[in-house]
Structure 1
């Protein structure tokens, strides 16, 4: 500890003996990073960033992407406002939409499907054999006869419920997308694509149809629209924080200087991200909020300490130096805990979470410089206003009643009650968390509220089509040119039957489905023949024209499962049943492997999150505990600081279960963020408490003095952090609102735990009487030494 103190004193001398140089350094670096931020910062979105690329499901999906189409498809439902789709005006509008979206950048044009695309065909059996053609008749001219023929072709095509609504009032244009442009190699620009789709929506809704658009690309596009609200929330948080700081300090200098240094930390964070070649994505966009809030919370501690020293009679430079000296170690430990807590998110193999972790850690590194160095230096020039010092002196006397009341948390009679309440809280949290689910718990896109435009569009499709937007694709691997052999197709048939009888699965489709229809047609449409033939020539003939239902060398057959929804229970049931079937039937000739489709991707994401959740918690608590142990050299201190954090984590999981919030990409980081930031309260309070205990004060008196010196700052910090992220609750983006609810809860409860539970644990664990005995023994030795002299 002496070595640490000597390092702190050396740093103090270097900083405060070179204040002008320090200020010039910060000005130059801030100007450079501002330039980097303005000229180079980008906000991007990538389908691949949102999925766990190393997961076996995703590896299988990309391996067979040509055969399955991947999971990135936009579906545009064009609905007639009056009547049905069998009108010349409607079909003309649908043709225009089909032609227009065909040329959008990123569209896999050969796989585009609509009533106007040539790959949508009808087949029927006649006395002369098979006949068929495109759904749109070659002779189509908009006449009533052409429309009647179109109706017949649609009924013969089997597209009712898939491309055509069950009520014939709308039809779909399906756009498979490339993640990268095959011509330029550049990533698909989701923001531009979404804007083009919205222009298309506005253009054709004026012509008398309604447009509903769903798909991953549209989710990204709507998230980009929500970014504007994120900026507004950030500005609102700055204004609220400024008002609260002024009410706290009643000093303009003590209000604006912490705000300025906190904003400098945000600028440094974004400038450094750009310098290192990183950008911001749709989740890490929220990190500047956290960086600003964390910076303000640590700035308040410094401002409070400077005010206390000034009220004790210190001049401006001395007050700033003493504040730096007292907060250097706890501040560094707290910020290091924040940064390393964020870095534990790197174990989650989803790039969007890893980017968030890196952005947050870089932001915390910036706070160490701006708030532990720049802020004290600036305050050594500005100082605390005389009115503020006078108010602080009055407050120290007048608030004795409040601190007297709160100091009873360390009273021997109150401590057992606090411990019992904490145990009950642990029990409730653990009981409630038993129902905590991994993944989404609501239909539609979880990024948006149920009433959002996207989820209303999704509701339209699920309500009017037999096949849902939630596709789970299982890939059946065989040898080259072996996919149409009887053993393979018979295994697929049994798998489809098993899945269609599983709750949550609407329908299963594959090459087998079409083969049975063809065999039936070859036998005069008799239902007796709607089965798989054992004759290889018949099987080969039945699938020869079904090129879209297997890959180019007939070594893989996709089985498409249409699910009721993508809720966690539905996906886990499908995955478990598929794995069970695969274990029973996989052999050297046929392999059932998971998974593609948007629901297959989500199942892979859920598995990664489920595996990483407890591992991440273990690492974040281990790291925080080690840092506290290295700082305070006491396991008792570690327990005093970490146990309140554990209570908050358990209560948060219980709250998530109670509110129906699943553990997913958006909410998993909250747990690490809450622990990493929440430990700050305990570190600041414990460091002060230990100092007073070492002076020989009884625990309750030592805690009373701790509250007088840092209690108001900790309380203010907790409230400021909670209000800063609490504004997110009103965000149009549901994932941001969920994060706001959980972070607000964790910040408030971490503050309560530090003020209420920490002193109770100190009474049990620290044995405070030993500090008193040590002090008395030291005083006796000093007196004996003095008398001997």
Structure 2
């Protein structure tokens, strides 16, 4: 049985016996000028709080969601002006629940909605499509030649003859399944959005745009002006239903969901209060810990706003993590001060003692956290880089709020005498192998051969099993609709309706064919475009394809009285030129003005990861085999094309990110421990956690994408804290000649409760996310909870087991330590009371 020896510094009950000149420079600056330090912290908190309230914005951006240096995205951005309508857009479907679209009242409502959307800020009006758009046209071949016009009759007045004319025009235009539902009960408005609002020059305000859709369209036409009925989430029971999908609406719904997310932040605060109070039984110190952690969040948000950054639905989760990390570090400082006060030390001296013991360890742990955040900067997706910057700012702030503000504040208010005496009794019981001491004794068994071997074997089996399951981990979305939201959310219900009632989905994958001016009309280019479309159509995940070839065939056949034999590509260039001229009127989106760019558009059944991978493989192979100096086949545009490019970056970044995280943490541990064996002991539990986390993602049906990519890096960066706490003390004792069992049991006694408190506090701060209305936050909450708790258990169980094999007693030469070397804190003149210092002088 190992002997537990508590580490103490000299008990100084009166300030007159303490030398204020002791300690390092930072300690003297902070504690000897406490009023100035507290004044600075209060003023900084007020100023940054004001900045956070007045300057911080929730501003999601479509461009920030895409990897702009990825070759496919570069191709899209370089040719964006020639691909209007294939980027960011919203689709609005208006359904008649009591009839069909051939209802004059329905058509009047559709016209009003069309006009409101047409005049909305940020809409690319020239490319908007609906039954009321003059650019949506029909064409017919007659004995006299071509006839055509707008689908909506120019002289439409709602008469039966007008309705019948509209019915014929819809059939002749071939828009059933695209702009008109297959059951004729609804029609669609396609609303492309500009990159920036032309009036203000700023990016589109997606929250404002989403609110416009809800308040001006849904409230008025679906709910009859009853906004409370809409807020309930249930669909309206009136004659019309308005369904909306698209990136702008998704972002708007996520931002609206963030208001509910604030409830989870409040729940995290209450949970932390309860956990810390149960641990300390001291009201004032508990409130102080939570207040200082909230101050860290205020500082973080204020600095982010000051630097001109904005918060988006993905980085809004970072303050939760900063608060949880802040609480864990603050609780450690409070625990040390409480123990010293319980032994009779003055509260100011106790605060300075705790600062000396834990400041370096705290900074070291925060640097380890920062590694996990900073590595995210390597991912070439702006929204993740912003998340990394926001998180790094938060970690830097914690040095001031959790490592400095807490001990200085507690030097004023102290802790309750009963609470400090209770903490001392718990330590004494543990030293006598009672209470927590029994748990420490149980953990000590893992330093023996039998238990160590068993733990390593179980961990190996778990690792192998987890690795086998993790091989099935997919990149991208695994379900249709928006995986960021719940399956029963209004957005996903709308998406399901549109998918089932329209033959063409909103998932567009476009291959761009770039040629010299007028080159897209060459016979060879059109033939290759036709072959590409045919190859894409053979894949089951493609509904249909559309390109200039379709229009040229149709117009050529029409030029010969609809002769089906002429429904093909002709070698006669004049015929091709005439067909393209006609197509420029009816389908201007199929090529640009100088005919140097035309897309081949594939409508996909869904945007699942496997579908996108297969389509990319087909298009990429064709492009490599058929590109030449005269014509280039460039991937990719359209919503599905952009998502496919994002998946490629995420796939590459996933492994690269983990590699750099572990390289950085390895270097960090080598510097801290000065032992490759100890570094291996610290890293192996983290590797196991990463593998099991990926296996858990497979089991939960979560793919790796922009929203979930940062989770594993964050888990590794934060998880290494546990190893730092335990191994630092364990190695110290081993290097003083203690056996592994003694060293580990003293390490657990010294930091074990703190490790447990950190793990439980971090997990408690995020576990409630599992009930969030935003699904990706719920997924992150479950994954982070698992990683926090598993890292804690891995540290407590696997570190002693691995130490038995990698850090055995024979590697450490027992030496008789000097008196002040027997403890895990350095000798320091600050431990000598002022009276003794004077006598020695």
For this structure pair, what is the TM-score category when the shorter chain's length is used for normalisation? over 0.9
Matches within 5 A, 1:39-54: 39-54=54-69
Residues of 1 paired with 2:392 and 2:576: CA distance? 59
- Structure 1 counterpart of 2:771, from 730, 734, 738: 730
Deviation at 1:760, TM superposition (A): 1.2
- CA separation of 1:466 and 1:368: change in aligned 2, threshold 3 A: same
- Structure 2 counterpart of 1:393, from 424, 433, 438: 424
Secondary structure (helix, strand or coil) at the match of 2:543 reads strand
Deviation at 1:321, TM superposition (A): 2.0
1:20 counterpart residue number: 35
1:716 counterpart residue number: 757
1:331 counterpart residue number: 362
Q: Deviations over 1:536-591 (max 9, x none)?
A: 11111112122211011100111110001111110011111111001111112211
Residues of 2 paired with 1:639 and 1:25: CA distance? 42
Q: Contact 1:571–1:603 at 8 Å: present in 2 too?
A: yes
- Structure 1 counterpart of 2:533, from 479, 496, 500: 496
Q: Contact 1:725–1:740 at 8 Å: present in 2 too?
A: yes
- CA separation of 1:61 and 1:383: change in aligned 2, threshold 3 A: same
Question: Is structure 2 residue 505 aligned with structure 1 residue 464?
Answer: no
Question: Is structure 2 residue 252 aligned with structure 1 residue 221?
Answer: yes
Residues of 2 paired with 1:318 and 1:410: CA distance? 37
Residues of 2 paired with 1:637 and 1:93: CA distance? 71
Question: Is structure 2 residue 431 aligned with structure 1 residue 415?
Answer: no
Q: Contact 1:304–1:710 at 8 Å: present in 2 too?
A: no
Residues of 1 paired with 2:817 and 2:242: CA distance? 83
Deviation at 1:635, TM superposition (A): 1.6
Deviation at 1:528, TM superposition (A): 2.3
Question: Is structure 2 residue 688 aligned with structure 1 residue 650?
Answer: no
Deviation at 1:769, TM superposition (A): 4.1
Matches within 5 A, 1:232-271: 232-271=263-302
- Structure 2 counterpart of 1:774, from 789, 799, 814: 814
Residues of 2 paired with 1:7 and 1:437: CA distance? 57
Deviates more, 1:61-70 or 1:441-450: 61-70
Question: Is structure 2 residue 467 aligned with structure 1 residue 430?
Answer: yes
1:202 counterpart residue number: 219
Residues of 2 paired with 1:384 and 1:636: CA distance? 40
Q: Contact 1:8–1:329 at 8 Å: present in 2 too?
A: no
- CA separation of 1:9 and 1:422: change in aligned 2, threshold 3 A: farther
Residues of 1 paired with 2:22 and 2:323: CA distance? 28
- Structure 2 counterpart of 1:750, from 791, 816, 819: 791
- CA separation of 1:777 and 1:61: change in aligned 2, threshold 3 A: closer
Deviation at 1:7, TM superposition (A): 12
Residues of 1 paired with 2:733 and 2:38: CA distance? 34
1:402 counterpart residue number: 439
2:384 counterpart residue number: 353
Q: Deviations over 1:398-437 (max 9, x none)?
A: 3221221122222232111111111112101210111111
Secondary structure (helix, strand or coil) at the match of 1:78 reads strand
1:786 counterpart residue number: none
Secondary structure (helix, strand or coil) at the match of 1:378 reads helix
- Structure 1 counterpart of 2:802, from 746, 761, 766: 761
- Structure 1 counterpart of 2:121, from 91, 99, 105: 105
2:737 counterpart residue number: 696
- Structure 2 counterpart of 1:67, from 62, 82, 103: 82
Give the TM-score normalised by the residue count of structure 1: 0.96
Q: Contact 2:22–2:28 at 8 Å: present in 1 too?
A: no
Q: Contact 1:330–1:687 at 8 Å: present in 2 too?
A: no
Deviation at 1:775, TM superposition (A): 2.3
- CA separation of 1:713 and 1:778: change in aligned 2, threshold 3 A: closer
- Structure 2 counterpart of 1:34, from 36, 49, 55: 49
Residues of 2 paired with 1:382 and 1:411: CA distance? 45
Residues of 1 paired with 2:815 and 2:334: CA distance? 31
Q: Deviations over 1:636-684 (max 9, x none)?
A: 2211222111110111111111211111001110111111111111111
Deviation at 1:9, TM superposition (A): 3.3
1:602 counterpart residue number: 643
2:13 counterpart residue number: none
Deviates more, 1:601-610 or 1:627-636: 627-636
Q: CA RMSD in A?
A: 1.8
- Structure 2 counterpart of 1:164, from 180, 199, 209: 180
1:96 counterpart residue number: 112
Residues of 1 paired with 2:818 and 2:31: CA distance? 34
- Structure 1 counterpart of 2:71, from 56, 61, 66: 56
Secondary structure (helix, strand or coil) at the match of 1:476 reads strand
2:100 counterpart residue number: 84
Q: Deviations over 1:16-54 (max 9, x none)?
A: 333223222212222221222222111111111111111
Deviation at 1:529, TM superposition (A): 2.1
Q: Contact 2:94–2:188 at 8 Å: present in 1 too?
A: yes
Q: Contact 1:338–1:673 at 8 Å: present in 2 too?
A: yes
Matches within 5 A, 1:342-741: 342-396=373-427, 397=429, 398-547=435-584, 548=588, 549-741=590-782
Q: Contact 2:738–2:814 at 8 Å: present in 1 too?
A: no
Residues of 1 paired with 2:445 and 2:25: CA distance? 39
Residues of 2 paired with 1:289 and 1:694: CA distance? 39
Secondary structure (helix, strand or coil) at the match of 2:102 reads coil
Secondary structure (helix, strand or coil) at the match of 1:589 reads coil
Q: Contact 1:310–1:316 at 8 Å: present in 2 too?
A: yes
Residues of 2 paired with 1:422 and 1:7: CA distance? 47
- CA separation of 1:766 and 1:318: change in aligned 2, threshold 3 A: farther
Q: Contact 2:130–2:189 at 8 Å: present in 1 too?
A: yes
- CA separation of 1:693 and 1:312: change in aligned 2, threshold 3 A: farther
Deviates more, 1:325-334 or 1:464-473: 325-334
Unaligned runs of 5+ in 2: 1-20, 225-237, 430-434, 823-841
Residues of 2 paired with 1:325 and 1:636: CA distance? 28
Give the TM-score normalised by the residue count of structure 2: 0.90
Q: Contact 2:145–2:561 at 8 Å: present in 1 too?
A: no
Deviates more, 1:157-166 or 1:707-716: 707-716
Secondary structure (helix, strand or coil) at the match of 1:594 reads strand
- CA separation of 1:360 and 1:761: change in aligned 2, threshold 3 A: same
Q: Deviations over 1:243-294 (max 9, x none)?
A: 1110011111321121111111111111111222222122111111010000
1:785 counterpart residue number: none
Secondary structure (helix, strand or coil) at the match of 1:172 reads strand
Matches within 5 A, 1:85-164: 85-164=101-180
Deviates more, 1:560-569 or 1:688-697: 688-697
Secondary structure (helix, strand or coil) at the match of 1:414 reads helix
Residues of 2 paired with 1:589 and 1:777: CA distance? 80
Q: Contact 1:75–1:172 at 8 Å: present in 2 too?
A: yes
Unaligned runs of 5+ in 1: 1-5, 783-789
Following TM superposition, the consecutive aligned residue runs of length 4 or more in structure 1 with deviations greater than 6 angstroms are none
Secondary structure (helix, strand or coil) at the match of 2:738 reads coil
Secondary structure (helix, strand or coil) at the match of 2:815 reads helix
